[in-house]
Amino acid sequence: MTTALIYLVVMVLVAAVVFLLASLVFGRGEELAPLAPGSSPTRLPAEGITGEDVTAVRFQLVLRGYKMSEVDWVLARLAGEIDGLRARIAELEAERPEPEHDNEHDNEHEAMRETEREDAR
C-alpha cells in the first residue's frame, strides 16, 4: 500500500514538473501578446458605419464568454438593416429635386446689408 502511494506522489510530482517546464518553454500558446487591461479589439469608424464594418466587429472573450451564434445573428441583422437604410437614403436623395435659387430673396438680403453698412458709418 505504501509503495502504491509513493508511486502516485512521484507521478504527480513528475507531471507537475513536466507541466511547469512545458509552460516556461512554450508559453501560453498565444500568437499575439495579450491585450492591455481596459482595451478592446472592437473597432468601428466614427461616422459612416456600413454593414461591412458591423460584420467585421470582433468582441474580446471574457471568462464567462458569450453565445457566439446570438452575437453573430445580431451583427448580421444590424449589417443588413444599416445597408438597407443607407440604400433607402440614397434613393430618396436621388429623387429630391435641386432647390431653386431665389434671386429676389437674395436681392432683399443684399439691400438690408447695404442699409446696415450705411447706418454703421
Residues 48-92: tens digit of each pLDDT: 788 888 888 877 777 777 777 777 887 888 888 889 899 999 999
What are the pLDDT digits (tens) for 93-103?
998 887 766 55
Q: For residues 7-45, b (16+ Cβ closer than 10 Å) or e, as one string?
A: eeeeeeeeeeeeeeeeeeeeeeeeeeeeeeeeeeeeeee
Name the residue ranges covered by the structural domains of the chain.
Answer: 48-58+66-96
What are the pLDDT digits (tens) for 28-59?
666 667 667 766 667 777 777 888 888 888 77
Q: Is the pLDDT of residue 24 over 80?
A: yes
State the average pLDDT over residues 19-23: 90
pLDDT at 14: 97
Based on the number of CB atoms within 10 Å of its own CB, is 53 exposed (0-12), middle (13-18) or buried (19 or more)? middle
